[in-house]
Homo-oligomer: A and B are copies of this chain.
C-alpha cells in the first residue's frame, strides 16, 4: 500500500524504470527506497538477474513492489504510456540537453502526475548509466549535483534522493506552499510512443526530401529529438507536425515521379 492522503496520489502515477541493472541487490534497495517515499510503480528493462534472493533480501518489507514490477524487453516498451520521461544523467554529453536539478525536476514531474499524466524516471546501468540513444528518449535530464571528485552514486542512493524530492514536491503541493511552475495546457502531453512515431515520420520525410547533413546524418535527428523533447509536445502539436510531414512527403513523391 502507498500513502492514503489524496494529495499524494500523484506518486502512484510516477514509474521508476531501471535499465539493465547488473546487481539484483540494487533492485531490492531501489524498491525499498521507493516504498519509503510512497512510490509503487517499478519497471525493469532487461535486468541481469530477476527475480533473485538478493533483491528480496535488500527490499526488506518492500517485496510487494518487486512482485508487481514490470519486466520489459526494451526501454521503449517501459515508457510507451508515459507523457513525461525524465532520464538520470551523470555526465555532460556531446550535445547539451536541458539539465535539471532534482528539486526543480521533481516539482515538474509531480505537477504533471497531479494533472493525471503518467511520468517515468529512467535510471541507467550501475557502471555506465544511460546510453545517448536512451537519453534521447527523455525530455528532461536530471542531474544530482555530486562531488565532482567522486560523482557516482550507488543506484539505489540516486533513486532515494530523487524519490525523496518527489515526495517533498507532493507534500508541498498538498499544502498551501507554492511549488514549481504551473503549466497551462489545453491538450494532453504526447506519450513516448507518439513522440517516437513523430521522429520516425521525420526520418522518412527527410529521406524523401533528400534532406540530410552530409557530414553527420545522425546528428540531425539527434538535434531534432532534442528540440522537440525540450518543447514537451502535446498531442495536437504532434498531429500538426505529422500533418506537415505527410504533405511534404506527398510533394516529394510527386516531384520524384517521372513526367508523363
Contacts and interface: CB of A to CB of B under 8 A. Distances in A.
A35 to B, nearest CB: 5
A260 interface: yes
Given A157-B32, A244-B206, A182 B99 contact: yes
Contacts of A60: 152, 154
A224 interface: yes
A220 B184 CA distance: 18
Interface string A15-37: 00000000000000100110111
B259 A236 contact: no
A148 B255 CA distance: 57
Interface stretch (A48-56, A76-84, A159-167): A159-167
Interface stretch (A66-74, A112-120, A227-235): A227-235
Contacts of A210: 247
Contacts of A251: 209, 248, 251-252, 254-255
B244 A96 contact: no
A144 interface: yes
Interface of A: 1-4, 29, 32-33, 35-38, 60-62, 92, 95-104, 143-154, 156-157, 160-161, 164, 167-168, 171, 177, 180-186, 206, 209-211, 220, 223-224, 227-228, 230-233, 236-237, 240, 243-244, 247-248, 250-252, 254-255, 259-260
27 contacts: A2-B149, A3-B147, A3-B148, A29-B157, A32-B153, A32-B154, A35-B150, A99-B183, A99-B184, A100-B181, A103-B168, A144-B164, A146-B167, A147-B167, A156-B157, A160-B161, A161-B164, A210-B247, A211-B244, A211-B247, A223-B236, A227-B233, A230-B231, A231-B231, A248-B248, A254-B254, A259-B259
